[in-house]
A = this chain, B = another copy of it.
Amino acid sequence: MRAYDREDLQFQLWDVAGLGDLIAGSDLDRDAVNGILDTADQIGSDFFLPIGREIDENEPQFVDGRAVLPDVVKPAVDAFVRAGFIGAGFQPEHGGMGLPETVHQAAAFVLAASNVSLSGYGMLTVGAGRLIQSFGTDRQKRTYLEPMVEGRFFGTMCLSEPQAGSSLSDIATRAEPMEDGRYQIIGRKMWISAGAHELSENIVHLVLAKIPGGPPGVKGISLFIVPRLRDDGATNDVTLAGLNHKMGYRATTNCALNFGEAGGCIGELLGEPHNGLSYMFQMMNEARIGVGMGATALGQAGYQASLAYARDRPQGRAPTAKDPTAKQVAIIDHADVRRLLLAQKAAVEPALALAIMCATLVDRERAGDVKAKALLGLLTPVAKSWPSEFCLEANKHAIQVLGGAGYTRDYPVERYYRDNRLNPIHEGTHGIQGMDLLGRKVLIDGGAGFGALADRIRMDIAEGGEFDAPLEQALTRLEQVTRHLAAQVGAAPDRGLANATLYLDCFGHVIMGWMWLRITQAAQKCTARDGDSDFLRGKHQAARYYFARELPRTEGWSATLLGNDQTAFDMQADWF
């Protein structure tokens, strides 16, 4: 069994996202893309899926300052590396395959559905590598990027500290200039995913630190390359202070790291001093899309597992069945089980559509499309947060389909639920995404980006289709809410931003309505081309579910937002 639906992925790539147009004129054709996905599929099926339970039940151990993973992890990660997936999206000049981000992300989806915590190593390495590609010197690219593209070095992003989690202006790690232009790095970092392991020859940490004498707050943050093994042959003084014992996502080690405790940690500046946070946000934005893709993949994996169970498991009869000795029906024949399956389908499929759309926007941005960049910036908080919240909800439903069995570790659905619970937290919490959307993204250039998004959505809204009018209504309401909140934020930012998370959810639900519109329009084209099929009928029915059960939630949320509900803002700490 696959942990995802290959037919749906093909449909999403070629029919919904129009990958054919994107790769037209490139070296890549449909067969080549399918070959890449086949490879991802095989690594997922052969290496990632089979060890899911084992690596969940045997979390990384802290042994003599080392992070020790179960033996089965390295062969799985090696297979992934050997297939070239870390370098897939990098240009051939650095040793990569030069694949479009859209294809790279499709493969990442397959691998994440097969095991999200194993796929974390690659995702982090790609993110770190891209930063060096963008801002590094030629020497830094040769020394660090190229071995990362080969998969010999892995990467990390080291932002948080014990006193500075979501508040990066408070980081205290210092970078003291040395005479040779390098820097002594001294500080403690927390929550570092893949911060310690023995899966690669070297680990390249990208570390946020402050050069003494620089400006206070975020304007004084610089970015440093701090490899575990330096190119001068020395081992850097980066020690593993401890591993976090997590609820899920266990094969990705999560570390507390001490830099330069014994004075022997040397790093190189990446790019210009005091510009580190803006660099890091490039990585962070890609990581956020990656988190959304991971959350979507987990939602998809739970959906597939619960769907297979629901088709197989006999239990009970229809409410009107009078004969208690009649054969039991498969539980998929119970309407409430179909509701639980539809709810999952209605969440995971548009989430995938958005993740793929974001990947196509990355490709278009790289090709110099300025509009794509603005649109991507606006969609990124949604692409990160919506699946983190609503594909987690889908995983809750997957457990429910299996009932008691779903609560045991004999089936993977409880693990998906635990794994996915991380996603609303890391790479900027759900609340932080809301602040990013309402406090920055929709306000930029007087709301020009948001206006462009609305125009873009309206390009897809035709007349007379089943879902066009309700989406237009929801979009119009979202515009009204956005104008209202933008004015509120302008007048009194603290109060105006108090409901940013609700706004984020409301915004996200409209975007997912748009995705369902695009999916059903693509399905209609397929029907016109190839005739109807159960697969295509399912798209329309799931869209109906979304428009009947989910999109209407935006009405209540909008009313709350337009009514300036200030219950949380006005609540006093002492009243709890």
A-side interface residues toward B, CB under 8 Å? Answer: 160, 163-167, 169-170, 190-191, 216-218, 244-248, 307, 311, 314-320, 324-325, 328, 330, 332-339, 341-342, 345, 392, 396, 399-400, 403-404, 406-410, 414, 417-418, 421-422, 424-426, 429-431, 434-435, 439, 493-494, 497-501, 534-535, 537-538, 541, 544-545, 548-549, 552-553, 555-556, 559-560, 563, 565, 567-576
B247 touches A409 (CB 8 A): yes
* A169: B residues at CB distance < 8 A: 324
Contact status A549-B534, CB under 8 Å: no
Q: Select A549's contact among B218, B317, B545, B560, beta carbons within 8 Å.
A: B560
Shortest CB-to-CB span from A548 to chain B, Å, is 5
Q: Which residues does chain B contribute within 8 Å of A421, judged by CB atoms?
A: 396, 399, 407, 414, 417
In the complex, the answer to whether A493 meets B319 with C-beta atoms within 8 Å is: yes
- Tell me whether B409 and A246 are in contact (CB under 8 A): yes
A576 and B330 contact, Cβ closer than 8 Å, known pairs A425-B406, A439-B319, A552-B559? no
Contacts of A541 in B (CB 8 A): 567, 570-572, 575
> Do B345 and A576 touch across chains, with their CB atoms under 8 A apart?
yes
Contact residue among B311, B565, B568 (Cβ-Cβ distance under 8 Å from A338): B568
B569 touches A335 (CB 8 A): yes
Q: Which residues of B contact A408 (CB under 8 A)?
A: 244-247
**Contact (Cβ within 8 A) A320 B493:** yes
Known A-B contacts A167-B316, A217-B325, A568-B339; the reply to A574 vs B498 at CB < 8 A is: no
- In angstroms, how far is the closest chain B Cβ from the Cβ of A421? 7
Chain B residues positioned under 8 Å from A426 (CB to CB)? 404
A534: chain B residues within 8 A (beta carbon): 572, 574-575
Residues of the B chain whose Cβ atoms lie less than 8 Å from the Cβ of A339:
498, 501, 568
For residue A5, which residue of chain B has the nearest CB?
B576
Chain B nearest CB, measured from A439 CB (Å):
6
Partner of A167, one of B160, B317, B499: B317
A538 touches B575 (CB 8 A): yes
Per the bound structure, the CA–CA distance linking A64 and B160 in Å amounts to 48
State the CA gap A244–B342 with chains docked (Å). Answer: 29
Task: Give the residues in chain B near A572, CB-CB below 8 Å.
Answer: 534, 537, 541
Q: How far is the CA of A314 from the CA of B319 in the complex (A)?
A: 55
Say which residue of B216, B396, B553, B567 sits within 8 Å of A325 (CB atoms): B216
Residues of B contacting A575 in the complex (Cβ-Cβ under 8 angstroms): 534-535, 537-538, 541
Question: Could you tell me if B328 and A247 are in contact, using CB atoms closer than 8 angstroms?
Answer: no
- List 8 A-B residue pairs with CB atoms under 8 Å apart, sorted by A's residue number: A164-B315, A338-B568, A342-B567, A414-B421, A537-B572, A541-B567, A548-B560, A556-B556
User: Contacts of A244 on B, CB cut-off 8 Å?
Assistant: 404, 407-408, 410
A400-B425 contact given A335-B498, A408-B247, CB 8 Å threshold: yes
- In the complex, chain B residues whose CB is within 8 Å of the CB of A574: 534
Q: Which chain B residues lie closer than 8 Å to A334 at the CB level?
A: 431
Q: Name the residue of chain B whose CB is nearest to the CB of A547.
A: B567
CB <8 Å contact, A576 and B538:
yes
Q: What are the 9 tightest A-B residue pairs by CB atom distance, in nearest-first order?
A: A217-B324, A538-B575, A335-B498, A339-B568, A167-B316, A336-B431, A247-B414, A169-B324, A245-B409
* Contact residues in B for A311 (Cβ distance below 8 Å): 573
Closest to A169 in B: B324
A165, A426, A559: most-surrounded residue (chain B CB, <10 A):
A165
A426 vs B535: C-alpha distance when bound (angstroms) = 34
> A550 CA to B403 CA in the complex, in Å?
27
Q: Is the CB of A573 within 8 A of B342?
A: no
Q: A318 and B165: CB pair below 8 A?
A: no
Find chain B residues with CB under 8 A from A406 CB: 425
A568 touches B336 (CB 8 A): yes
A120 to chain B, nearest CB (A): 14
A442 smallest CB distance to B (angstroms): 15
Whole-angstrom distance between the Cβ of A352 and the nearest chain B Cβ: 15
Bound-state Cα–Cα, A307 to B576, Å: 8
Q: A345 contacts which chain B residues (CB < 8 A)?
A: 576
Looking across the interface, which residue of chain B has its beta carbon closest to that of A389?
B396
A1 CB to nearest chain B CB (Å):
14
